[in-house]
Chains A and B, each alone.
Chain A
Amino acid sequence: MFWDPKIEKLSREKLEKLQLERLKKTLQYVFSRSPFYKKRFTEKKFRPSMVKSLDGLARVPFTYIDDLRKNYPYGLLAVDKSETVRLHTSSGTTGKPKAIFFTRDDIGRGADLIARCLVMTGVTKKDVLQNMMSYGLFTGGLVMHYGAEKVGALVIPAGIGNTDRQLMLMQDFGTTSIHITPSYALYIADVFEKKGLDPRKELKLKRAYMGAEPHSEETRRKIESAFGIDVYNSYGLSEMNGPGVAFECQYKDGMHLWEDHFIMEIIDPVTGRQLPPGQEGELVLTTLCRVGMPILRYRTKDITRIITAPCRCGRTHRRIARITGRSDDMFIIKGVNIFPQQIERVLMGIKGVARNYLIQLESYDELIVKVEIQKRSFDGSVDHMAGLKAEIEGKLRAELLVRPKIELHEPGSLPVSEGKAKRVIDNRKL
């Protein structure tokens, strides 16, 4: 199903023509209205007129996360403050947050993109969507909320936490769709298991939208089978509206990125050069329709690749693959670059391993992976446990090329968080 079939199936030629038109307009617009870009363009001796084709985008200066912090709060604003109707922030680990402003029309466009996403995975006005994301300054709550309302679904603004109430809402109002972080979905599956209840029987759930946290294909399958639902991957970031930037269609094979609203590039994070389509690198996004706070060539730090093959669903907007890591999350052990997701991918593929794990870095060459064993598959045999430990060590070593130290832990003994799960503990004093 399509929310906006005309634009979602627009031919590549027309789509690229539209992109160029909107890019040129955006460049002129920010140059005349945004204090930050006026200064940045001048410093870099860049003029909007230098961009005559989409290839010319490579000449536009990058915008970095730090630029948003340093120019906090109003530096990137392109309209008078009175035109803005909503503020979201995105917190970093250090220093000032990033402030993102929306005009009324920006909010409408964001909701429209969410509507495309929901409708393409089967949501109609008959659905009940429980939005289990934080409703605060974080975009995951409100942006999804407005989009789901636009489709006409009944939205339950449940927010995050208070699991007993979440379950009650789901049961009492027949929730069919949830918007949730993967770690919270896993936590809820555990709660059901502890109560001895089967969510496939207790709930009317059909689908879940999972975003805000990186997760693996195995985690998706675990959640799908625990709840008996379809899980759709969602990509978004506050700086680019929040959720709804890219979303999976019914084929669940990469996320369609709405190219009439954003231009995507994949670059080498070290050199900053564009990489050929299909190659993995850092995702760089440019807004094409934002009025309040357009952002050009934004360095997302998310590592992915563009899937160039056309999708069976008929949408012409190209897909990005699952985010395989953040350029920040990467750590180095014995000179080898490792992303936490590589470890998760291996662990989730091993029988007898529970959902919780922790990665602990002790020195430049010591990687400790703490793994909870699965209650169900414990058969009392010490040999089987020793075998499990050896299997984890062997498979991780094959994937990472570094031998980790494995610790088996009791079910439920490692910390679980109801929000973003912190999986890496770095105790190194380097």
Chain B
Amino acid sequence: MKTVRQLSIFAENKVGKIETLTKVFADNKINILAFNITSMGDFGVIKFVLDKPEEASKLLKKDGHAVSVKDILAIEMNDRPGGMYEVAKILGQNSVNIENAYVLVPKARDKALLLVEVTKINEALKALEGKI
């Protein structure tokens, strides 16, 4: 079971904010591997998985953004049906809540990764060990 680092950034204006953030990434040659926006109407949280998460976090914090970094699950998507169900079932049985899930766009020939943000990452890893 793999994990990846995810950056969450608070945004009061989503459109302008994405432009600002992605410019920082472009200027510093940081690649965006996946991203996701959760909107709550007048504010939202933008999440990124990047190839250089630590560097990106440092740069954004320096610019005054509210940034939070956490590890999330990166689960290889198998071709067989029911893969996501299996993950959700195991996590549920171990009372780990899924807060958010999105997909990491694969490079050619690699398998797609399902990114799952959970409440208790260590419990999740333990529960899924050897099963997925």
A contact set with B: CB distance below 8 Å? 194, 373-375, 378-383, 385-386, 389, 407-413
Contact = CB atoms under 8 A, between A and B. Distances in A.
Contact of B44 (A374, A379, A382, A409): A382
Given A373-B10, A410-B12, A412-B64, A382 B40 contact: yes
Contacts of A413: 12
Contacts of A380: 6, 8, 45, 47, 68-70
Q: Which 3 A-B pairs have the closest CB atoms?
A: A380-B8, A380-B68, A378-B66
B68 A379 contact: yes
Contacts of A379: 8, 68
B42 A411 contact: no
A104 B40 CA distance: 63
Interface string B1-40: 0000010101110000000000000000000000000101
B42 A410 contact: no
Given A378-B10, A382-B40, A373 B66 contact: yes
Contacts of A383: 99
Contact of B40 (A373, A375, A385, A409): A385
Nearest to B39: A382
Contacts of A385: 10, 40, 43, 45
11 contacts: A373-B10, A378-B66, A380-B8, A380-B70, A381-B99, A382-B44, A382-B45, A383-B99, A410-B11, A410-B65, A411-B65
B67 interface: yes
Contacts of B8: 378-381
A382 to B, nearest CB: 5
Contacts of A194: 64
Interface string B55-66: 000000100111
Nearest to B117: A380
A410 B66 contact: yes
B12 A382 contact: no
A393 to B, nearest CB: 12
Contact of A411 (B6, B47, B66, B99): B66
Contacts of A375: 61, 64-66
A378 B67 contact: yes
B64 A411 contact: yes
Contacts of B38: 382
A379 B99 CA distance: 13
A407 B41 CA distance: 10
B12 A409 contact: yes
Contact of A408 (B12, B64, B68): B12
